[in-house]
Structure 1
Amino acid sequence: MFLNTRRTFLKCTAFSTTALILPHTKLFASATILDTLALAQRDLYGDLESAPGFKEINSRAYLSLILTHSRIGEDSKKFITNGATWLEEEAQTLYKTPYTSLSYDERQKTLESTATYKWGESWIDAMLRFIYEAVLGDPIYGINKDSSGWKWLNHVSGLPRPKEPLL
């Protein structure tokens, strides 16, 4: 048998588990899962004139934190990363091109098509919630830089604010 030694078994399972769950895993040999997720979030965020810039809210870092944190359920993490795979599959179906290589308009049409599926609607809802959390979250988590989301909404944070990240 191929997996006849414990060492071989551990090597194989460690490699395959790592390849499946890490957000930096290559997806369709073009981009990482996190690249696809971050671009999808950027496309969902849009260009609201008065809103803080997408770079300032740092949603990518927040999503990376969510995907690696021990308090976030594995089912939730899997749904997020599966969504990136499904989005890539939809881009391939529509344009025969990876999502990250599409034009802005093509990515918008891919998201619109994705939203027609029950899983797609739920996944887009989850991505939007993570964007909102990044806009409204405390800057101690590396998001909402310079409190730009709070300033945009004229929000005054409650006191006391956290002294260290809880996630």
Structure 2
Amino acid sequence: MDARLNVFGNETAGKFLKRIVSAGSVVSDSTLPAATQELVKIRASQINGCGFCTDMHTKEAAAAGESSVRLNLVAAWREATVFTEAERAALELTEQGTRIADAAGGVTDEAWANAAKHYDEEQLAALVSLIALINAFNRLNVIVRQPAGDYRPGQFA
């Protein structure tokens, strides 16, 4: 299957991608744990049905040493015992921030307060920014039907 639009070879899409990748480096350089960052990217990508980002971030997480057990359980994190309380709070915030239209008012005060128990203000800012960022990447890839399965870790480094 081919993408509807070659976002990597298109001038406008290329400029857009360059800017959101740059925004992502701000989050990557934050003190938000790298493992949490990958879990957030994977979970939002699963919810949004973005095969390209799910493929990319599961492979990047595995290359960084994440266990296959944890990667396989991201979609069922509520029932899984392999995630920390902080990771669970981040995953809940991710789900609510990704499914923002599903609930009146978006993210609940409870989900926010739980995340704030585990992350300082700078980490919360990074987490919120990351959730917004991965949702932008997901939407771009889903709209153009970017194929999944061929990503290699470090491919875009």
Q: TM-score, normalised by structure 1?
A: 0.31
| TM-score for both structures, normalised by structure 2 | 0.32
